[in-house]
Amino acid sequence: MNNDLIPLFSAAKVNAGLDFLTPIEAVLNSHWYILGSEVKKFEEEFATFVGVNECISVANGSDALELALRGLGVQSKDRVVAVANAGFYGSTAIHAVGAIPLYVDIDPVSLTICTKALAQAIGTKPAAIIVTHLYGQLANIEEIVNIASAAGIPVLEDCAQSHGASRNGKQAGSFGTIACFSFYPTKNLGALGDGGAVVTSDSLLATKIRQLRQYGWSQKYQVAIPGGRNSRLDEMQAAILRIKLPHLHKWNAERRSIAKRYNEAFAGLDLQLPSSVGEDYVGHLYVVRVKDRAGFIAALKEKMISTDVHYPIADHHQPAYAVDSPLSLKETELACETVVSLPCFPGLTDDEVSRVIEAVTTYFSKEK
């Protein structure tokens, strides 16, 4: 039996067979490295993929979130609705603009924002709502947008983990006012370094984001709006992403196929499984919930299977920004205590999937 370590993610396997040298050489030979033709073409292609009019590429997903909030006019002391189980990324952006996070609880099944909790929080008149499509699972975004629209509040979709997730033909990132993506190497669409994008169909908002990503310029050296920064996707990363984008649907299908095998094998076990393995889920992470997380992780480690916890500390409990939430976050806190991620990525072999299944089922058979 093969006892090699099964990683949680393998860039070598995900990127196998792709020709990166040709596009990199083309950029080198162009002698144009920032905001050139590769960036322009990628922005056009990714906007078309998502189903929006505008894509503004930036240096990373965190910058995308911050600039999107600034573009929406979120200011110091404004409240921004967010969940507290998503790794603090949205919270980082909220704090960066001087706003105050208003955490609402999650749905215990999907682990994304609970629409009932959101409806209760709307009365505080937040300036924006960040909706995180966590683990590749599309949130109940249609109902969220309806609730927000009735209250006149913009919706920012955090799509860092949901490239290509869709419902009724609409892609993640095309439902709200504005959306943000990360192209960190482990993402479903990952660069060979950092990268991010903001997408929207609001042309005025797109113009503002383009200014914000480059110092707030209205023209060269003229700073017209505050809050700008240097945040640009470089030509090489854009060229690499253009090579990878046509493969994204196939890769997402591979992730879903692995998740389906897991769900079928684990159906009778004492653990909570992902709520969907359909088109609204792209398997960025395959996350289960177990009662004895430490014991479960230790058992899989013995079998040479990597796991991780996404995410162990709720945002309102982070040491740098710990606060007492005014709203109940019972489900959020329970999720942070019980979630575990299993290997799920393109290139994971059938034998490796079988080894994961065997290790998990063996663990639970010994528990009985």
* Residue 211 covered by a domain: yes
Task: Let me know whether 162 and 54 are in one domain.
Answer: yes
Cβ neighbour number for residue 48 with a 10 Å cutoff: 12
Task: Let me know whether 166 and 56 are in one domain.
Answer: yes
Q: Are 66 and 207 in contact (CB under 8 A)?
A: no
Q: Which domain holds residue 286?
A: 248-367
* pLDDT at residue 368, as a whole number: 60
Task: Let me know whether 240 and 268 are in one domain.
Answer: no
* Residue 86 covered by a domain: yes
Task: Let me know whether 24 and 125 are in one domain.
Answer: yes
* Residue 277 covered by a domain: yes
Q: Are 347 and 283 in contact (CB under 8 A)?
A: no
* CA dist., res. 26 & res. 77, Å (int): 47
Task: Let me know whether 43 and 156 are in one domain.
Answer: yes
Task: Let me know whether 280 and 158 are in one domain.
Answer: no
* Residue 6 covered by a domain: no
* Residue 1 covered by a domain: no
* Residue 2 covered by a domain: no
Task: Let me know whether 207 and 256 are in one domain.
Answer: no
Q: What is the DSSP string of 313-343?
A: S-GGG-TTT----SS--HHHHHHHHHEEEE-
Q: Are 258 and 353 in contact (CB under 8 A)?
A: yes
Last residue of a domain, one of 177, 212, 246: 246
Task: Let me know whether 295 and 254 are in one domain.
Answer: yes
Last residue of a domain, one of 246, 268, 290: 246
Task: Let me know whether 65 and 214 are in one domain.
Answer: yes
Q: What is the domain-level CATH number for residue 287? A: 3.90.1150.10
Domain count, the chain: 2
Task: Let me know whether 232 and 294 are in one domain.
Answer: no
In the chain, beta strands by DSSP E: 54-58, 79-82, 100-103, 128-132, 155-158, 166-167, 170-171, 178-182, 196-200, 217-219, 222-223, 286-289, 339-342
* Residue 5 covered by a domain: no
Cα first-last separation, the chain = 26
What angle do the packed helices 203-213 and 61-71 form, to 10 degrees? 120
Last residue of a domain, one of 220, 246, 272: 246
Give which of 363, 229, 352 is closest to 290, Cα–Cα.
Answer: 363
* CA dist., res. 224 & res. 327, Å (int): 39
Q: What residues contact residue 78 under an 8 Å CB cut-off, 6+ apart?
A: 99, 100, 126, 127, 128
Q: Is the dihedral of CA 130, 136, 141, 144 positive or negative?
A: negative
Task: Let me know whether 207 and 123 are in one domain.
Answer: yes
* pLDDT at residue 52, as a whole number: 98
Global pTM?
0.97
* Residue 4 covered by a domain: no
Per-residue pLDDT of the chain (368 residues; tens, 9 = 90+): 578 999 999 999 999 999 999 999 999 999 999 999 999 999 999 999 999 999 999 999 999 999 999 999 999 999 999 999 999 999 999 999 999 999 999 999 999 999 999 999 998 899 999 999 999 999 999 999 999 999 999 999 999 999 999 999 999 999 999 999 999 999 999 999 999 999 999 999 999 999 999 999 999 999 999 999 999 999 999 999 999 999 999 999 999 999 999 999 999 999 999 999 999 999 999 999 999 999 999 999 999 999 999 999 999 999 999 888 888 999 999 999 999 999 999 999 999 999 999 999 999 998 66
Task: Let me know whether 172 and 259 are in one domain.
Answer: no
* pLDDT at residue 321, as a whole number: 93
